[in-house]
Amino acid sequence: MEFKNDLGLVGKIAAHSVMSGKYKDKDGNIKEILPVGPGNSLDFDQFREDIGAFGGGSGGTDIDKEHPSAGANYYAGSLADGEITERNLEWSGTDDPTKDLTVTFKDDPGSNPFGQYSGLTILGHIQKTVMTSGTKGAVSNLELNYDPSNVAKDGYFTTTSPYPIYISQSDIASGQELDVPINGIGEGLEGDNTKPAMIHLKYNSDKTMTISHEEGYVNDGNSAGATGVKYSFVVEVISTFSTQRAVAQLPPSVVLFSGNANGMITLSGTDNYYSNTMNGLEITMNTETTGGNVKYTAIGLPSVFKVPKEELVIGNKFYIPTTGMMEVADKLYDPTLMSQHYTPIAEVVGSHHYQRYFRGIKNGYFEIGTNSITFNMIITLGYNVLNSWSDEEFKVEISRVTPY
C-alpha cells in the first residue's frame, strides 16, 4: 500500500499500535495497563506489584503454567514459603457428601463479602467408597497430595488441582455457582470409566454459602453394576486468606516453647499467622502426666505430633489421631471381669497397688491461636477397690514446640 506522505504512514502505524493491556490480579479482578506520560508508554508498575503479590510470579492466575487452576480454584502462592497469610477460621464441622452443606460463617462477611481478604481457602479430604458390581463396600478416608507433576503417592489421593483450595474474593462476591474439580491421578487406579470428584460453591444473599458435592469415580464401566471406587471431597475447614511476598522461615533448631505446661501456651518467634513456620509445628509431649505417676506413653499415643502448616488456621482445632491407642474400657463391662479383656496400667498410689484401666481421652486436640496453642487434654483411667469402681482424670502436658 502506498501513502501520499509520511504523516499517512505514521497514522497507519499508530492505528495498529498496542495502546493498553489487560490482566488478572491476585483476586481475579480484570485490570488494565494504560499509557502514561509524554511518551505515551505503558505503565507496568501496578502490574509488577500485583504479580509480586503471588510471590514473585509463582502463583495466582492462569499465567502460572506450573500450577494451573482447576475451575474456580487457583494457586494463590506457596504456603511453605509464607506467601499465604491472614488465615482465620470461618467454618469447621461435619460435611456429609451425600447432602448439600449450608455454611454459616463465623464472622459477618460484610456487604462486599470478605473484601478485606484475597478470598477463602478450603481444607478437606477424599472419602473413598469401594464398589463391587454396583454394591457399596468399605468406606475410608484419604488425605490429599497436591502434586502438579501428577505422580501417585501410596496412601494418598494425588491431585493436580491447587490444594489447599483457594477461591478469589471477587468470584465469591459474584454470587455465581463456582465449580471446583479435584483433578489428578488419585490413587493411580486404572479403569475404563473415570470422572473427577467436584464441589460446587455458591454465595447466597443471606450471607451463607451452599456447597454441593458431585461424586467422582474410577470403575470398569459395566452398566449392569460397575466395579471400582467412588470418590467424594469432604469439606473440613473454611478460612479467609490473603497473599504476601515470601518470608524467611524459622529453622527446626528454633525452640518456640520449652517447659511442661497445659492450657494456653504462648509461642515465641512465630508471626501472627504462622507464615514463618516451615512445614508446620512439631509438638513434643511430657511423658508423665499432672496429678499422678501415670505414663502418657502407656496408652499407645506417640510422644511427638506434627501439625501441618495447612492446619495452622487461627481458631482451628487439630485433633490428635487415635490410631494405635490401647483399647478403651467399656463401662458396661463388669469391673471384676475387665482384666480379662483389657491390659491394665499398674500404678502405685499411696500404700495401695491398683490396677488401672484406660477409659479414654477428653479434649484431644490442639487449638490454634495467635502465637499460642491451647491444649487441655485429659487421660481418664478407671480402677476398682473392694468392688467399688472409680475414674480418675490426669492432665497431659506439652514440653516442647519447634517448627519442622
Per-residue pLDDT of the chain (404 residues; tens, 9 = 90+): 555 556 555 555 555 555 566 665 655 566 677 766 665 666 655 555 555 444 433 333 445 789 999 999 999 999 999 999 999 999 999 999 999 999 999 999 999 999 999 999 999 999 999 999 999 999 999 999 999 999 999 999 999 999 999 999 999 999 999 999 999 999 999 999 999 999 999 999 999 999 999 999 999 999 999 999 999 999 999 999 999 999 999 999 999 999 999 999 999 999 999 999 999 999 999 988 776 556 777 777 889 999 999 999 999 999 988 776 666 554 433 444 444 444 455 444 444 455 667 778 899 999 999 999 999 998 887 766 666 667 878 899 999 999 99
DSSP state of 296: G
Looking at residue 239, its pLDDT comes to: 98
How many Cα atoms occupy the beta-carbon half-sphere of 319 within 13 Å? 10
CB 265 within 8 A of CB 401: yes
Looking at residue 276, its pLDDT comes to: 98
SS3 at position 10: helix
Looking at residue 45, its pLDDT comes to: 58
Euclidean distance between CA atoms 388 and 90, whole angstroms: 47
Euclidean distance between CA atoms 83 and 74, whole angstroms: 14
DSSP-assigned letters across all residues of 33-62: E-EETTTTEE--HHHHHHHHTTTSS-SSST
How many Cα atoms occupy the beta-carbon half-sphere of 184 within 13 Å? 30
CB 252 within 8 A of CB 404: yes
Report how many helices (DSSP H) and strands (DSSP E) the chain contains, helices first. 3, 29
CB 57 within 8 A of CB 223: no
Q: Which three cell numbers stand for residue 162?
A: 491447587
Euclidean distance between CA atoms 351 and 313, whole angstroms: 47
Query: pTM for the complete prediction?
Result: 0.79
Looking at residue 50, its pLDDT comes to: 58
Looking at residue 334, its pLDDT comes to: 42
Euclidean distance between CA atoms 197 and 184, whole angstroms: 10
Q: Hey, which bits of 93-250 come out as E strands? A: 101-104, 119-132, 135-146, 156-159, 165-168, 178-182, 193-195, 197-203, 208-214, 216-219, 228-243
SS3 at position 298: helix
Cα dist from 297 to 38, 163, 206, 303, 391, whole Å: 75, 34, 49, 7, 19
Phi, psi of 77 (to 5 degrees): 150, 180
Q: Which three cell numbers stand for residue 259?
A: 517447659
Q: Which three cell numbers stand for residue 74?
A: 487457583
Looking at residue 3, its pLDDT comes to: 54
SS3 at position 309: helix
Neighbours of 300 (CB within 10 A): 13
SS3 at position 172: helix
Cα dist from 27 to 93, 95, 120, 209, whole Å: 27, 27, 11, 19
CB 112 within 8 A of CB 131: no
Looking at residue 393, its pLDDT comes to: 85
Sign of CA pseudo-dihedral 382, 384, 390, 396: negative
